[in-house]
Amino acid sequence: MNRGYNPADKVFLAVDCIIFGFDNEDLKVLLIKRDFEPEKGKWSLMGGFLKKDETLNDAASRILFKLTGMHNIYMEQLYSFSEVNRDPVARTISTSYYAIINIEKHNEELIANYGAKWFSLAKAPHLIFDHDEMLGKAIRRLRRRTSISPIGFELLPEKFTMRQLQKLYEAILDKELDKRNFINKINSMDILIKLKEKDMSSSTKGSYLYMFDQEKYDDKQTNNFYLKL
């Protein structure tokens, strides 16, 4: 039995990133227009090949920084796609990651330089290869994660209104939420700081601003976050 490595079995290993952002009204995904064949001119997730001196996490961080100019982004490995004919050029396995960012903090010039664009999930175009499947899996994972952990706050400005928070969860869950029930549920968790400042853009009376209290969340003995809406 040959226990060595067989060169004929070598494949390419790619990393594809699904990047979510929130613009205070809608959940969006960042897509890039492909500038090479195959599928040139069509929309794609941002991706790249793993380098010899990188881990998968390193590669994902590099790709995310390349497109957004941001470090320390919340990201999570999602799934590996290994269908034999998924890439028509070469045998390629792709490990996907999803990331969530505050749109206000990303580098708009980088996005423009790469021909990238934010799309509402409801209006996202058809993507190349199996990228639609990747996006679907990422949306389902994001919905589960935001119901059991406070990662959704990564999508918001540092200071936000309760309306912005509700709009975020409605966008992620793709359903309308009862305002009173939502506010009561959030307040019962006791993980927000209510500020004396107000956002005066929404009404003449204004809306109070809040901040997520990471220390208070971390100090809770159970560290429990369960948002069933």
pLDDT at 135: 98
Q: pTM (2 decimals)?
A: 0.88
pLDDT at 109: 83
* Residue 91 falls in which region: left (phi positive, over 0), alpha (psi -120 to 50) or beta: beta
Calpha distance 143→42 (Å, rounded): 27
> Between these two residues, 133 and 151, which has the higher pLDDT value?
133
Domains of the chain: residue spans and CATH: 9-148 (3.90.79.10), 156-219 (1.10.10.10)
Cα–Cα–Cα angle for 98, 101, 104, rounded to 5 degrees: 155
Among 17, 27, 8, smallest CA distance to 156 is for 27
What is the rounded average pLDDT for all residues in the chain?
89
**Position 77 confidence tier, pLDDT thresholds 50, 70, 90:** very high
**Position 6 confidence tier, pLDDT thresholds 50, 70, 90:** low
